Structure 1
Amino acid sequence: MKVIIVEDEVLASENLIYLLKNIDPNIEVLKVLDSVKSSINFFSKPIEADLIFMDIHLADGLSFEIFDKVTVKTPLIFTTAYDQYAIKAFKVNSVDYLLKPLNEEELADAIIKFNSIVKTEPTINNSQIESVLQLLNSNNKTFKSTYLVQSRDELIPLKISDIAYFYIEVGIIKAITLDNKSFIINEKLESIVEEIDTSKFYRVNRQFVVNREAVLKIKFYFNGKLVLKTNPPFKERIIVSKAKATEFKNWMNN
């Protein structure tokens, strides 16, 4: 299989290549593109790739802008770090996606899925891309505002805006408020991320979702990772993976 990678983070593209080689040593990476501009130039000419892995957020814009300029007939698997709009659109339109940081098992499953789908539906169509763009640019998205949580022998509505961070502890989801109170949330972390406003909350790793208002400092950590200092403080290091570090800083800067 011959693949092309569209990814602006060097570490992320290197990690993807490493995982692909682990899954199948015969996979050949023809090209790594790091921007909308370079992708448009590249895809304006005939290509012989079997599959494209494409990050949504590139340094010079959304990768969907590529399709405004050129027609890409090669099947695509999109990658995204946190964009729940896109994930929902992919599910509706049968466009595949992978959530960063990439997992080898999920990547292998996606390739198996690609091999089965490509026989009957070799390319995505314009309507699929348009649907994703509409959801990405939509201002009508409504977000969950409260969770009903137990406090001793009663139930109380907990405002999401008052939550500093969510985290997983021994399989249980806990929410810590800005005034340092702890509550159990009876949902999966994946479901929570789909319900809350991702302009205010960011999933920094598989165990932790943080409120922008709770972040006091960002410290550089080894191997390109970041460590967050929050208020209230957490008992352990809150680490942003190297695959998400650049995007997290951009998110904090917006």
Structure 2
Amino acid sequence: MKVLIIEDERHAVSRLKTLIGETMPEAEVDGGLDSVSVALSWLKHNPAPDLIFCDIQLADGLSFEIFEKVEVKSPIIFTTAYDQYAIRAFKLNSLDYLLKPIDPKEFKAAVEKFRQMKSVPQLDMSLLKSLLHQETKEFKTRFLVKFGEKIQSIPALEVSFFFSEERVTFLQHQSGRKYVLDYALDQLEGILDPKQFFRLNRKYIAAIESIAEIHTYSNSRLKIRLKDCADNDILVSREKVGALKEWLDG
């Protein structure tokens, strides 16, 4: 079985190769091809692969351009960092779609879907572009907070972390000040930029700059120390360790 990877992020290529090796040991992997032009050349001069893993945003443009310029009869699993709304949009078009960082269980489910597929879905590029444009939302960039009698607007880029304590959610600023927020952590997780923030556990969502130290812990978990945080026992579960490492390496 021939599998092609079209992806311009080095760590994402490595991650895909690892998952393919674990889930599809019989596969011969080619790639990653890091641009539209390189992918076009490869597809024009090589037999069609059995399966393609393809990022949407490549070094020189959207991968949609590839499939507009060359007929591709291979099934495609898109991999990208677009949010959950875009995932629903892509699945409506009978394509599978994996959100980065890729969860091993989701990856296995996508591969199983591929193995059971009896016919290759027909790509509708105009529909895909339309869905992506309509369904991809903007992330929250500012938070309105109250401090004494004052109301202040805090840029998301100045937030160190969010945390929950006794059913109250707090925003901690880079200055060390903390503010009460009218959001639950579950709500915040859906409106924050996943490149900037990561949900460490049920109590904490941290900005990448706020992570001071990472230590290995029992049962394959990690212990995190955040800057200006009194909690020294912030644990990341074994299931989230891989995603955290990929986020930090991004």
TM-score normalized with structure 1 length: 0.62
User: Which residue number in structure 2 is paired with residue 73 of structure 1?
Assistant: 73
Please list the CA deviations of residues 102-152 of structure 1 after superposition, one character each: whole Å capped at 9, or x if unmatched.
222221111112233x3145343224422244337x7x86969879xxxxx
Query: In the superposition, relative to structure 1, how do residues 95 and 206 fare at CA in structure 2: closer, same or farther (>3 Å)?
Result: farther
- SS of alignment partner, residue 246 of structure 2: coil
Is the CA contact (8 Å cut-off) linking 1:79 and 1:97 kept in structure 2?
Answer: yes
Query: In the superposition, relative to structure 1, how do residues 246 and 38 fare at CA in structure 2: closer, same or farther (>3 Å)?
Result: farther
Could you tell me which amino acid in structure 2 is paired with residue 80 of structure 1?
T
Does residue 32 of structure 2 align to residue 32 of structure 1? yes
User: Which residue number in structure 1 is paired with residue 179 of structure 2?
Assistant: 181
User: Which residue number in structure 1 is paired with residue 102 of structure 2?
Assistant: 102
CA apart distance, 1:67: 3.0
User: Which residue number in structure 2 is paired with residue 60 of structure 1?
Assistant: 60
User: Which residue number in structure 2 is paired with residue 164 of structure 1?
Assistant: 159
CA apart distance, 1:53: 0.8
User: Which residue number in structure 2 is paired with residue 243 of structure 1?
Assistant: 246
Please list the CA deviations of residues 59-103 of structure 1 after superposition, one character each: whole Å capped at 9, or x if unmatched.
333323323433333111111235455324224333211122222
- SS of alignment partner, residue 112 of structure 2: helix
> How far apart are the structure 2 equivalents of 1:63 and 1:108?
23
User: Which residue number in structure 1 is paired with residue 87 of structure 2?
Assistant: 87
Query: In the superposition, relative to structure 1, how do residues 16 and 175 fare at CA in structure 2: closer, same or farther (>3 Å)?
Result: farther
Unmatched 5+ residue regions in structure 1? 148-157, 220-228, 248-254
Query: In the superposition, relative to structure 1, how do residues 123 and 210 fare at CA in structure 2: closer, same or farther (>3 Å)?
Result: farther
Alignment of 1:1-254 (within 5 A): 1-45=1-45, 47-84=47-84, 86-116=86-116, 118-135=117-134, 164=159, 174-178=169-173, 179-181=177-179, 185-186=183-184, 188=186, 192-196=188-192, 198=193, 202-204=196-198, 207=201, 209=205, 215=209, 235=231, 241=244, 243-245=246-248, 247=250
**Pair member with larger Rg:** 2
Could you tell me which amino acid in structure 2 is paired with residue 180 of structure 1?
K
> How far apart are the structure 1 equivalents of 2:229 and 2:60?
35
Q: How well do the aligned residues superpose, as a CA RMSD in angstroms?
A: 4.6
Question: What is the total number of aligned residue pairs between the two structures?
Answer: 222
TM-score normalized with structure 2 length: 0.63
Identity between Structure 1 and Structure 2 (%): 33
Is the CA contact (8 Å cut-off) linking 2:163 and 2:170 kept in structure 1?
Answer: no
Query: In the superposition, relative to structure 1, how do residues 204 and 38 fare at CA in structure 2: closer, same or farther (>3 Å)?
Result: farther
Could you tell me which amino acid in structure 2 is paired with residue 202 of structure 1?
Q
> How far apart are the structure 2 equivalents of 1:24 and 1:218?
37
- SS of alignment partner, residue 90 of structure 1: helix
- SS of alignment partner, residue 48 of structure 1: coil
Could you tell me which amino acid in structure 2 is paired with residue 27 of structure 1?
A
Is the CA contact (8 Å cut-off) linking 1:176 and 1:182 kept in structure 2?
Answer: yes
Is the CA contact (8 Å cut-off) linking 1:2 and 1:51 kept in structure 2?
Answer: yes
Query: In the superposition, relative to structure 1, how do residues 15 and 145 fare at CA in structure 2: closer, same or farther (>3 Å)?
Result: closer
